[in-house]
Amino acid sequence: MTTYKTRQEVPEQEKWNLDDLYSDLNRWEQDYQQIEVMAEKLKTFDGQIHDGHSLYQYLKQSEDLSYLFNKLYAYAMLKVDEDTRETSSQSLLDKAKQLSVKVSSSTSFFMPYLLSLKEETLQSYINEEKGLDYFAEDLMESFRYKLHVLSKEQEEVLSQLGEALSVPSHTFGMINNADIKFGEVTDDNGEPVELTRGMYAKLIEDENREKRKEAYFAYYKPYLQLKNSIAATLSGAIKNNVTMAKIRNYPSVLEKGLFGDRVPKEVYENLIATTKKNIAPLHRYTKIRKDKLNLDELHQYDMSVPLISGVKPVISYEEAYDTMLKALSPLGEDYIQNLKEFKEARYIDVRETPGKRSGAYNLGVYGVHPFILLNHQDDLDSLFTLVHECGHGVHSMLSSKYQPQITARYSIFVAEVASTVNEVLLINYLLKHEQDPNVRKHLLNHFIDQYKGTFFTQVMFAEFEKKTHEMAEKSMPLNVEVFNQTYETLFREYNGDEIVFDEQVKYGWSRIPHFYRPFYVYKYATGYASAIHLATRIFEGDEETIRTYLEFLKSGSSDYPLELLKKTGVDLTSPEPIENALKRFEDLIEEFSEL
């Protein structure tokens, strides 16, 4: 496997090209100054919007500012993620964050103003100014928030607090990405080496149990050492969420989290209830795992090792890319052309290097193109990650191409559908073309583990968020003990009684960045269930599903997420898609145990 000691060593073709955003820092600075001027100009509209024309001017200038600001912020963020230790990039991002506060402060008067209008007044403005047709739907959507927007002065105060309220999340990010050191593990020659996240992901799947165990304890050690600090940051984040929900008059913090997507809380509760009702196959899988590994005691560090030994395909980045193009060919020639462009035009940052942000993501920048961060490791997981992020990437690209700026950004709720459809198409393709019974078993095993991670684990996380936020709403204390107890109870409920609990298990909550974005993770599970439904039909060549799905990818946020999905044949307000996804999981367990 290729490991690079510095970013300079990585081939140019495997680094994203940020020149597409800014070819030099002077241009970034020029845009920075221009945005400051634009923000000041927007302030002058305060109290001066009295007709359709002035309303249109404000909205048009606000959108122009937003376009520039997103580009500027994206550049700073991507620069930091190349190397989180680089102070010059950090100060760029700090500047962008300060600018963000200025911008939101200069526009904070607008929502209270808009919601002070009578609906018929707004309608008359729209009728008299042709340009407002473009903004009409958005303006009317804003009326949904009428109950939750405060007075002009209060909104101004809240916008000033923006940076302070993001401190828990920022602090955890710093602890998790910059400060945590995982200590040392021994390499194949018995020499001590520094453990990295990428290495941990590999070692926790190692067939040598001692290696897994050593990596597991080393990985959790800093989290246990910092448990009180991390508990304080998480508790702070949760209390902030609860306070904001109260200030903004939401019936509950959960309903605030779901309001933007217009998702009824029943969808969230139904997801948890339906999953727990059908949890038996997952418990059965835990038992199969224990038997197959021939263990007296199953520990958490035994939960990721592949059950089929001797199958560890090495998949180079080139090979992974080719496989992706073949696997996604049912989506049509245009889809594949977009993917080829990603590679040729350097939209992707491929390799793990010291200081680089861990994990993987896609960032679509309207009017430019998507940027994809990977930490590619030449293995099956990395192939799946590539396919997943490229799903997001094409979704961003098509939404930007077919939607105006105002509706180009799709909601997170539908985002995970696009990425997971790709993963399911990939696994179906691999299973169809693989003759070797051992590799087939390995793929099934991989699919099951991925199902577990993307569906069951996320539902468990969603329930953890729900429980901890409900405690905060009742003013109950949130600390290490409370988080541990809540997490451990849920872990047992979801994973069954076969696992022997090491001390580390209950600290699982301490390493999850998603908990700092409230009520977000459940969307992985609803997205996964929707994707299973769609991908199965696409793989079978169902022309109508392929057509409606590609339309869906071009839709951005032109409708509410649940409505967009209904057009493809998935209705998440009913338990059916969740039940179907759980049934598919049960079939996989059945097939795997027969093999």
The ranges assigned to domains in the chain are 7-165, 171-310+452-516, 317-441+524-587
Q: Could you tell me what percent of the chain has a pLDDT over 70?
A: 100
Mean pLDDT, range 379-391, rounded to an integer: 94
Mean pLDDT, range 432-458, rounded to an integer: 91
Do residues 516 and 169 make contact, with C-beta atoms less than 8 angstroms apart? Answer: yes
Please identify every residue annotated as catalytic: 389
- Measured N-to-C along each axis, helices 480-495 and 227-247 cross at an angle, to the nearest 10 degrees, of 90
Report how far apart, in Å, the C-alpha atoms of 285 and of each of 29, 192, 592, 593 are.
55, 35, 9, 9
User: In angstroms, how far is CA 490 from the centroid of its own chain?
Assistant: 22
Q: Could you tell me what percent of the chain has a pLDDT over 90?
A: 81
The pLDDT of residue 438 is 87
Furthest CA-CA distance within the chain: 78
Mean pLDDT, range 2-16, rounded to an integer: 91
In tens, the pLDDT along 486-529 reads 999 999 999 998 999 999 999 999 999 999 999 999 999 999 99
At residue 276, the 3 state secondary structure works out as helix
CATH superfamily for 7-165 is Oligopeptidase f, N-terminal domain (1.20.140.70)
The pLDDT of residue 311 is 79
pTM of the model: 0.82
Indicate the DSSP class of residue 525: H
Is it the case that residue 56 has pLDDT exceeding 70? yes
The kind and range of the H/E element at 417 are helix 412-433
User: In angstroms, how far is CA 561 from the centroid of its own chain?
Assistant: 16
In tens, the pLDDT along 456-482 reads 999 999 999 999 999 999 999 999 999
Nearest to 440 by CA among 588, 246, 252: 588
User: What is the CATH topology of the domain spanning 171-310+452-516?
Assistant: Neurolysin; domain 3 (1.10.1370)
The pLDDT of residue 212 is 95
The pLDDT of residue 2 is 63
In tens, the pLDDT along 292-328 reads 999 999 999 999 998 988 777 899 999 999 999 999 9
Mean pLDDT, range 147-164, rounded to an integer: 86
Is it the case that residue 558 has pLDDT exceeding 80? yes
Do residues 420 and 388 make contact, with C-beta atoms less than 8 angstroms apart? Answer: yes
Is it the case that residue 440 has pLDDT exceeding 90? no
In tens, the pLDDT along 518-553 reads 999 999 999 999 999 899 899 999 999 999 999 999
User: Is 171-310+452-516's fold the same as 317-441+524-587's?
Assistant: yes
The pLDDT of residue 306 is 87
The architecture of the domain spanning 317-441+524-587 is Orthogonal Bundle (1.10)
Is it the case that residue 357 has pLDDT exceeding 70? yes
The pLDDT of residue 352 is 93
Taking the C-alpha atoms of 14, 19, 23 and 29 in order, what is their torsion angle to the nearest 10 degrees? -110
